[in-house]
Amino acid sequence: MTLLGRWVWRVGTAGVGVVVGTALVKSGLHADDDAVSVASSVGMPVAHAQSTTTTPPARLPTLPYGFPDMGQLKHRPYHVISYNQALRIPNWVCETFDEETVKAGTTDRKHCPFKTDNSIHPYFQSVDSDYRGSGYDRGHLAAAANHRTSQEHMQSTFFFSNIAPQVGQGFNRDAWNQLEGYVRRLTKAYTHVHVCSGPLFLPTRTPDGRMMVSYEVIGKNRVAVPTHFFKVVVGKTPKGQLEIQSFIMPNKPIAAGQPLINFLVPLEDVERAAGVLFFEGIPNKYAYTYRKNGKLGGRFDKRDKT
């Protein structure tokens, strides 16, 4: 066996206005042709580099033969993906959208085929055949319907790097879809909506009192099936205030008609389980909206149509 198909690191600069230490150049892999610039139609500067990754340090004395990088960042229009190479699904996907970007136009998901993400090393990709016959849906983390400014932007959510196995009936097509719709409607109450979504692997207690995490892996590439999914939602009010809500839903059929408030959790619960602090740049002075008198709180309530 030889060391074929490995990454080649070349030190360089990348990005506009983004501090990035090294650029990743793939050897023997397709370039990520479909990763396009972050559009600036919501008034944000274009400031990303194609195919950048969480920057590994340059040669360290203890690591003279390369940095064992755990994953890659994918910069796509209006969403960023942290990909988990071991689980073959995202760690998280963070989106930014507003009333304009979610508006139904001429874009149509029927013209969006799912695509293998060839910017990922073949060892760590998930592909269509992993899902076929598995019984699970190819569930979007960044929802296609949030990204309707162009067919190309919508297409960018169909890379398998944005997909995780979801229970179809009762979850992806129902409760989770309802949550996605709720978050989209928040664009009517907030000038910008920021959402981070991702998988969780939560333990259950066994009869002998031990806490066990148990999850299926599907397909030749052993794609992990999360036990739960989360969404952390930030709304920016017209006055510039920020309100936060967090949800955790089990990846299983959920009885119809349940209000979303049943899945509302403290942000801390998501953060401890995911191993990530979300929106840590939000100053403490901003109100944290969790639950007020059994209602969603803030401007969130009036958007829950269930």
Question: β-strand 89-97 against 192-200: which pairing, if any?
Answer: antiparallel
Is residue 182 within the footprint of a copy of itself (CB under 8 A)? no
d(CA 92, CA 126): 16
In sequence order, the 6+-apart residues with CB closer than 8 A to the CB of 210 are none
Residue number, 129 or 214, with CB nearest to a copy of itself: 214
- CB 248, min distance to a copy of itself, A: 14
x/- letters, 90..129, toward a copy of itself (CB under 8 A): -xx-xxx------------------------x-xx-----
Give the number of residues in contact with a copy of itself, rule: CB under 8 A. Answer: 95
Integer Cα distance of 78 and 156 in angstroms: 10
Q: Which stretch binds a copy of itself (CB under 8 A): 28-36, 102-110, 216-224, 255-263?
A: 216-224
Q: How far apart are CA 200 and CA 177, in angstroms?
A: 18
Provide the residue count of the chain. Answer: 306
In the complex with a copy of itself, the residue whose CB is nearer, 193 or 260, is 193
Q: How far, in Å, CA of 240 to CA of 219, rounded?
A: 46
CB within 8 A of 228, min separation 6: which ones? 199, 200, 201, 202, 248, 249, 250, 251, 273
* 191 binding a copy of itself? (CB under 8 A): no
Residues 23-42, interacting with a copy of itself (CB under 8 A): 38, 40
84 is in an annotated binding site: no
Position among 102, 143, 224, 254 found at the interface with a copy of itself (CB under 8 A): 224
Both tokens of 241, joined, read 């205030």
Q: Least CB distance from residue 111 to a copy of itself, whole Å?
A: 24
189's tokens = 């109450």
254-269 as b/e, with b when 16 or more CB fall inside 10 Å?
beeeeebbebbbebee
- Choosing from 24, 32, 52, 251, the residue that interacts with a copy of itself (CB under 8 A) is 52
Positions in 269-298 near a copy of itself (CB under 8 A): 271-284, 286, 288, 290
Tell me which of 30, 31, 129, 213 binds a copy of itself, using CB under 8 A: 213
Please pick, from the candidates 24, 87, 163, 254, the single residue that binds a copy of itself as defined by CB under 8 A: 87
Q: Which of 21, 5, 4, 2 is nearest to 13 (CA)?
A: 21
Rounded Cα distance between 278 and 271, Å, is: 7
The one segment of 67-75, 106-114, 148-156, 162-170 that binds a copy of itself by CB under 8 A: 67-75
* Region 239-258 residues binding a copy of itself, contact defined as CB under 8 A: 242
Query: How many CA within 13 A on the CB side of residue 286?
Result: 20
Contact call for residue 209 and a copy of itself (CB under 8 A): no
Nearest distance, CB of residue 93 and a copy of itself, angstroms: 10
Q: How far apart are CA 45 and CA 96, in angstroms?
A: 13
Q: Closest CB to a copy of itself among 75 and 174?
A: 75
Identified binder of a copy of itself from the candidate list 10, 31, 86, 100, rule CB under 8 A: 86
Instruction: Return d(Cα 195, Cα 97) in angstroms, integer.
Output: 9
The catalytic residues are 140
Minimum distance between the CB of residue 235 and a copy of itself, rounded to whole angstroms?
12
d(CA 132, CA 161): 16
Q: Which residues are annotated as a binding site?
A: 172
Q: Which residues are annotated as a binding site for Mg(2+)?
A: 172
